[in-house]
Amino acid sequence: MNKFTKNPTVLAWIEDMKALLTPDNVVVIDGSEEQLEALRAEACATGEMIKLNEEKLPGCYYHRTKPNDVARVEDRTFICSREKENAGPTNNWCDPQEMYAKLYDIARGTYKGRTMYIIPFSMGPIGSPLAKAGIEVTDSIYVVLNMAIMTRVGTAVLDVLGDSNDWVRGLHAKCDVDPEKRYICQFPEDNTIISVNSAYGGNVLLGKKCFALRIASYQGWKEGWMAEHMLILGLENPKGEVTYVAAAFPSACGKTNLAMMIPPAYLLEKGYKIWTVGDDIAWMRIGADGRLYAINPENGFFGVAPGTNEKSNFNALASTKKNTIFTNVAINNDDNTVWWEGLDKNPPENATEWKGNPWNPSMFVKADKTTYAAHPNSRFTAPAVNCPCISPEFDKGAGVPISAIIFGGRRAKCTPLVYQSKNWENGVFVGSAMASETTAAAAGAVGVVRRDPMAMLPFCGYHMGDYFAHWLEMGKKLGDKAPKIFNVNWFRTDDEGNFLWPGFGDNMRVLNWIVDRCNGTADAVETAIGYVPNAEDIDLTDLDFDIETLKSILAVDADVWAKEAAEIEEHYKKFGDKLPAELRAQLEALKAAVAK
Ligand code: OXD
Ligand code: MN
C-alpha cells in the first residue's frame, strides 16, 4: 500500500485497523473504473457475485446474502454515546469503552488470509460545502462495489479532506456472519461506526443509515444543520418553475414511488413534471439567503425490488437496467436475468430462488412468504444517474431550496388526505407524532399504530427530545424563510378496508395544492389540526373520483382526534423532561380544540 494520503489522522487509524484485523493484503479504492472492473471479475471468479445477461442487463451483477442476514437489525443496533441519557429512550445503548472492547474482540484477526479494502467516500458531491467524508474498511468486495454505487468513492475524497479530522471512521468485518455476534454500533462522539457479522446492505454500507442518518443527525445537532430520512423532489410547473419539497414517511408508505412519480396524463400534457433529487436521505443547511437548502448525500438507490414494476414505479425500474447489483432476488435461468414478485405476471418457469434453490411458479403459495422466489426485502443497488427523471440539480453541490416539508403515514381513518400545519412549531408537533398503521405485509397484528417521529425512530443518533428541540431551534433561525410543513395520508379506507384515494401518480394533484399553498395561491379551511383544502381546490380533472368522497377523506373528526391526542400524550411520556415545552403546549392546544 502506497501512502495514499498525508492526513495524519487517517494514516493513524488505518495503522490501528491493520494491527487489529491483520489482513494479508491492503487495497485502497482509488475510484477508477479499471480497479472496480477488476474487483467485479474477482468476485465472479470466487462466486461472490454472478454476472447477469450483458445484452439485457449490461454491467449488472447478482449477489445472495446468507438467509440469516437479509435485513437491518434494529435490536442489534446501538448508539454508544458516553452518557446513556444522550442516546435517549428510543435507542439501544452501551458504554462506548465496553462496546469497543467487545467489538474489537469479535473483529480481531478476522481479515487474516483476506484483503482489507480501504474505501474513501464522500456523502454528497465531492467538494460540496454540504458534503462530508468517510473512510470504510471492509473485507467484502460486495461492499466495495455497492459503496461505489451508493456514494462517491476514491482518493479524490482525500484530496478534498486534506489534513482535516472531520471524517467518519467505518469498520466493517464480515467475520462468520453469526447473528448472535452481529452488532451495528455508532459512536457519535468519536465519528465512528463498527459493523460486524453481517454482509447485508443496510448494515454494512456504512455511508447510508449509519453515517448519513445516525452519525449525521448528531453532527447536525452540534453544527446547526439537519440530517433527515427524507426524499427530495422538484415539482416543475408549465411555466418551467421548479419547487422543491422534502418528505418523510415510515416504511411501506410509497416513499420511493413518490420520489420518482410520473404525473397523470392530463397534468403531463399541461407541462407538469417531477424531478428526483433523492429517494431516502436529505442533508439540509441554511443558505446565505436564509432559506433551507438540501442535498441528497447518496449517489444511488438501494431500493426494495418486490412490487417494483413499470406501473408502480417506472423510473425506479428503468434505473435498474444497467450497472446495477441485485441482492436476494430470483434468477431466471433461461436468460440469466432477474425476477421478483410483482415485477410482472410472467414468473420464470426455470428459476433459482434467493436462497439458491430451483424454483418455478407452481411452488408459490401467496400466504407463505418462504415460497417466494425473491426475498421480500430483496434489493437493487442502482446508480442515481440511471434514473430518467434525475434532477439536473442532483449532482450540484449547492443543494436545492426547500419550500415544503411533508410528513406522512398510513392511517385508515384519522388523518386527512392532506393538511398544512399552522406554523413551523405546529409542524414539528405533527412530525413528532407521526404514525403509521401496520399492514398485512409486516409480521404481527394488522392496524396497530406505530409512532415513528419524522420517520427517524431507528435512525436518530441522539435523544429524540433533543432532536425535537433542534427542529424547533432550526425553525427560529429560519424565521419567515422556513419551509411550510404539511402532512399527507394516501391510505384512508372505507368501512370494508378499501383504499379511497387512487394514490401513485394522482398524488401529484395533492402536491400541486401544497405548492400552491407555498406560493400563496390556494385557499384552505382552518380546522383543529391545521389548514385543510377545500375539496374544490384539489384538481380532479380526468379522474373518476367524486367530490363527496374527496370531502370525506379531507374531513377532520373531533372524536377521532380526541383519541389521537390522548395517544400522542402517551407517546410523549417516553421523552420525560426532554420533551420541549413548545410541543407540550401544542398538544394541549390540540386537546382543547377537539374537546366537546
Ligand atoms: C431503507 C429503510 O432501506 O428505511 O431505506 O429501511
Ligand atoms: Mn430509508
- Joined together, the cell numbers standing for residue 243 give 419547487
Same domain, 179 and 328: no
Q: What is the pLDDT of residues 8-54, one digit of tens each?
A: 999 999 999 999 999 999 999 999 999 999 999 999 999 999 999 99
Candidates 94, 253, 387, 518; catalytic one:
253
Please give the distance, rounded to the nearest whole angstrom, from the Cα atom of residue 208 to the centre of ligand 2: 9
- Residue 107 shares a structural domain with residue 218: yes
Ligand 1 neighbour 298 (Cβ under 6 A): no
Separation CA 60–CA 79 (nearest Å): 35
> Does residue 44 have an active-site annotation?
no
For the CA of 208, the closest atom of ligand 1 is 5
Whether 201 is in the pocket of ligand 1, judged by its Cβ within 6 Å, is no
Among 165, 194, 223, identify where a domain stops: 223
C-alpha 90 to ligand 2 mean position (Å):
17
Q: What confidence score (pLDDT) does residue 447 get?
A: 77
Same domain for 102 and 216, yes or no, is yes
User: Which residue type, as a one-letter code, is found at position 395?
Assistant: D
Q: Does residue 523 share a domain with residue 438?
A: yes
Q: What pLDDT score does 251 carry? A: 83
Cα-to-centroid distance, 566 and ligand 1 (Å):
29
**For residue 381, which ligand has an atom nearest its CA?**
1
Answer whether 202 contacts ligand 1 (Cβ < 6 A): yes
Atom of ligand 1 nearest to the CA of 304: 3
> Which residue from 435, 488, 485, 440 is spatially nearest to 457, judged by alpha carbons?
435
- Residue of 206, 185, 234 lying closest to 402 (CA atoms): 234
Answer yes or no: is 45 within a domain.
no
Is 175:110 a contact under the CB 8 Å cutoff?
A: yes
Centre of ligand 1 to C-alpha 338, Å, is 22
Which residue segment(s) compose the domain that 118 sits in?
A: 8-30+74-223
- Residue whose CA lies nearest to ligand 1 atom number 6: 251
Shortest-distance atom of ligand 1 to CA 280: 5
Ligand with the closest atom to the CA of 301: 1
Q: Find the ligand nearest to 71 CA.
A: 1
Best of 280, 378, 379 to mutate for ligand 1, by most ligand atoms within 8 A of CB?
280
Per-residue CA distances from 94 to 77, 79, 80, 85, 221 (Å): 10, 7, 5, 11, 21
Query: For ligand 1, is residue 457 a contact (CB within 6 Å)?
Result: no
Other C-beta atoms closer than 10 Å to the C-beta of 392 total: 10
End of a domain among 163, 190, 223? 223
**pLDDT of 1:** 61
**Residue 516, pLDDT score:** 97
Residue 192 lies in a domain: yes
CA within 13 Å, CB half, 181 = 14
Atom of ligand 1 nearest to the CA of 229: 4
Ligand 1: distance of its center to the CA of 315 in Å? Answer: 18
- Looking at the fold, whether 232 and 219 belong to one and the same domain comes out as no
Q: What is the pLDDT of residues 154-167, one digit of tens each?
A: 999 999 999 999 99
Q: What is the CA radius of gyration of the chain?
A: 24
Q: Is 251 in the pocket of ligand 1 (CB under 6 A)?
A: yes
* Closest ligand by atom to 379 CA: 1
| Same-domain pairing of 239 and 346 | no
**In testing the pocket of ligand 1, which one of 70, 72, 146, 231 has its CB within 8 Å of the most ligand atoms?**
72
Instruction: Give the burial class of 32: count Cβ atoms within 10 A of its Cβ; 0-12 exposed, 13-18 middle, 19 or more buried.
Output: exposed
Bridge partner residues of 295 (DSSP): 283
CA dist list (Å): 520 to 128, 421, 483, 513: 32, 14, 13, 10
Q: Which parts of 324-367 are beta strand (E)?
A: 325-327, 330-332, 337-339, 351-352, 358-359
Q: Residues 159, 176: one domain?
A: yes
Alpha helices in 288-394 (DSSP H): 314-319
Nearest CA to ligand 1 atom 5: 280
pLDDT above 70 as % of the chain: 98
62 is a domain residue? no
Distance 185 CA to ligand 1 centre (A): 17
Residues 420 and 488 in one domain: yes
Contact 195, 210 (CB under 8 A): yes
DSSP lists the bridge partners of residue 390 as 276
Pairing of strands 330-332, 351-352: antiparallel
Q: What is the mean pLDDT of the chain?
A: 96
In angstroms, the CA 189 to CA 218 distance is 8
Q: Which of 194, 223, 252 is the last residue of a domain?
A: 223
Residue 9, burial from CB neighbour count under 10 angstroms (0-12, 13-18, 19+) = middle
138 and 104 within one domain: yes
Nearest-5° Cα angle at 47, 339 to 51: 45
Q: Is 280 in the pocket of ligand 1 (CB under 6 A)?
A: yes
CA 280 – ligand 1 centroid, Å: 7
**pLDDT (0 to 100) of residue 590:** 98
**528 domain-assigned:** yes
Residues 195 and 111 reside in one and the same domain: yes
Query: Which among 158, 209, 124, 131 has a CA at the least distance from the CA of 28?
Result: 158
* Cα separations in angstroms, 581 against 249, 357, 576: 25, 57, 11
Pocket test for ligand 1, best of 70, 203, 209 (most atoms within 8 A of CB): 209
User: What's 200's domain CATH number?
Assistant: 3.40.449.10
Q: What share of the chain is helix, strand, coil (3-state, %, to 5)?
A: 35, 20, 45
Looking at the structure, do residues 143 and 171 belong to the same domain, yes or no?
yes
Does 196 reside within a domain?
Answer: yes
Q: Which atom of ligand 1 is nearest to the CA of 455?
A: 4
Is residue 36, in this structure, part of any structural domain at all? no
| Cβ 279 under 6 angstroms from ligand 1 | no
Cell digits of residue 263: 404525473
Three-state DSSP state, 551: helix
Ligand 1 center to residue 285 CA distance, Å? 23
- Reference 298, options 280, 285, 284; nearest CA is 280
Ligand number, closest to the Cα atom of 228: 2
Hunting for cell 441554511 — which residue is that? 286
Cα 227 to middle of ligand 1, angstroms: 15
Report pLDDT for 3. 80
| Mutate-to-test residue for ligand 1 from 150, 203, 213, 251, highest number of ligand atoms within 8 A of CB | 251
Q: Which residues, given as ranges, of the chain have pLDDT below 70? A: 1-2, 439-445, 596
Same domain, 131 and 179: yes
181 three-state secondary structure: helix
Residue located nearest, by CA, to atom 4 of ligand 1: 251
- Whether 546 maps to a domain, the answer reads yes
Closest atom of ligand 1 to 459 CA is 4
The pLDDT value recorded for residue 252 is 80
For residue 195, CA distances in Å to 103, 202, 408, 448 come to 8, 10, 31, 31
CATH number at residue 437: 3.90.228.20
Query: Is 317 part of a structural domain of the chain?
Result: yes
Task: Report how many domains make up the chain.
Answer: 3
